[in-house]
């Protein structure tokens, strides 16, 4: 039976972290909100009474199971897709890394929505400029240098963030680098020489056969000004 992914149509958003894992594994899945009537089905799910409805997409349905939150979904999918470390201790570490990524993604979102998610970017531009400046100066380097250090410290080599083989965390790091490069091209250019292991990981994942095929396909939606990673030149480093 196919997995069902529920996520807002028209943007990569947080759904993309799930799509990349499913695509790498060649899993059978339906991107429900991109099918006719799919968005309605997703809204119905969010408004349902039982089982406990998720607060927000992305949501994964596997038979009777309904799972929300990117990190939670990937913790569930990882072992099923062959994208999780073999033992419990490492799986907990993978989940911790994914939750750190979740925090990073929230801060990336807040660069264009520092005051209110319910307002447009255009209604909070001065605050966004101040927030993005601090993000690029302090927060992005702090997160990126952390992931770089963890990669470099992997006793099995820096090809993967933990253990000997590919995990969902590696795939999420690919999306992170891809998105930051799109959103903040100037700032990212100056930080790239300082994150060689992350840069190599990004390139290696881009060339994995299933990922390369996915990126070329119509299933990969382009970055745009509705997603988490948005390119507003005025927010990029000067």
Ligand X SMILES: N[C@@H](CCC(=O)N[C@@H](CS)C(=O)NCC(=O)O)C(=O)O
> What is the closest distance, in whole angstroms, from the C-beta atom of residue 56 to ligand X in the complex?
4
> What is the closest distance, in whole angstroms, from the C-beta atom of residue 71 to ligand X in the complex?
6
Which among 47, 62, 59, 61 is positioned nearest to 14, based on CA atoms? 59
> What is the closest distance, in whole angstroms, from the C-beta atom of residue 179 to ligand X in the complex?
13
Pairing of strands 65-68, 3-6: unpaired
| Furthest CA-CA distance within the chain | 50
What token pair was written down for 226? 């509705």
Which among 1, 113, 5, 111 is positioned nearest to 57, based on CA atoms? 5
Handedness of CA 152, 70, 72, 143 (dihedral sign): positive
> What is the closest distance, in whole angstroms, from the C-beta atom of residue 73 to ligand X in the complex?
8
**Residue closer to ligand X (CB basis): 75 or 197:** 75
**Residue closer to ligand X (CB basis): 12 or 93:** 12
Other CB atoms within 10 A of residue 138 CB: 10
**Residue closer to ligand X (CB basis): 44 or 189:** 44
**Residue closer to ligand X (CB basis): 109 or 219:** 109
> What is the closest distance, in whole angstroms, from the C-beta atom of residue 14 to ligand X in the complex?
4
**Residue closer to ligand X (CB basis): 71 or 211:** 71
> What is the closest distance, in whole angstroms, from the C-beta atom of residue 46 to ligand X in the complex?
9
Contact footprint for ligand X (CB under 6 A): 13-14, 56-58, 69-70, 102, 117
Residues 80, 99: Cα–Cα separation, whole Å: 19
Q: Where are the beta strands (DSSP E) in the chain?
A: 3-6, 29-31, 59-62, 65-68
Task: Please check whether residue 71 is in contact with residue 106, taking contact to mean a CB–CB distance below 8 angstroms.
Answer: no
**Residue closer to ligand X (CB basis): 57 or 179:** 57
């Amino acid at each position: 039976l196919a997995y069902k992914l529920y996520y807002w149509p028209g943007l990569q958003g947080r759904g993309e972290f799930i799509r990349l894992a499913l695509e790498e594994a060649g899993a059978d899945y339906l991107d429900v909100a991109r099918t006719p009537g799919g968005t309605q089905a997703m809204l119905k799910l969010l408004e349902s009474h039982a089982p406990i409805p998720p607060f927000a997409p992305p949501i994964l349905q596997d038979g009777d199971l309904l799972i929300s939150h990117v990190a939670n979904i990937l913790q569930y999918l990882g072992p099923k897709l062959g994208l999780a470390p073999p033992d419990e201790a490492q799986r907990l570490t993978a989940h911790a890394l994914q939750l750190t990524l979740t925090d990073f993604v929230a801060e990336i979102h807040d660069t264009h929505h520092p005051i209110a998610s319910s307002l447009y970017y255009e209604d909070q531009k001065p605050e966004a400029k101040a927030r993005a400046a601090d993000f690029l100066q302090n927060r992005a380097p702090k997160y990126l240098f952390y992931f770089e250090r963890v990669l470099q410290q992997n006793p099995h080599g820096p090809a993967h963030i933990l253990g000997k083989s590919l995990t969902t965390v590696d795939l999420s790091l690919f999306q992170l680098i891809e998105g930051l490069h799109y959103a903040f091209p100037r700032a990212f250019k100056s930080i790239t020489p300082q994150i060689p292991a992350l840069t190599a990981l990004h390139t290696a994942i881009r060339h994995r056969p299933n990922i390369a095929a996915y990126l070329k396909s119509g299933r990969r939606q382009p970055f745009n000004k509705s997603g988490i990673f948005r390119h507003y030149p005025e927010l990029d480093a000067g």
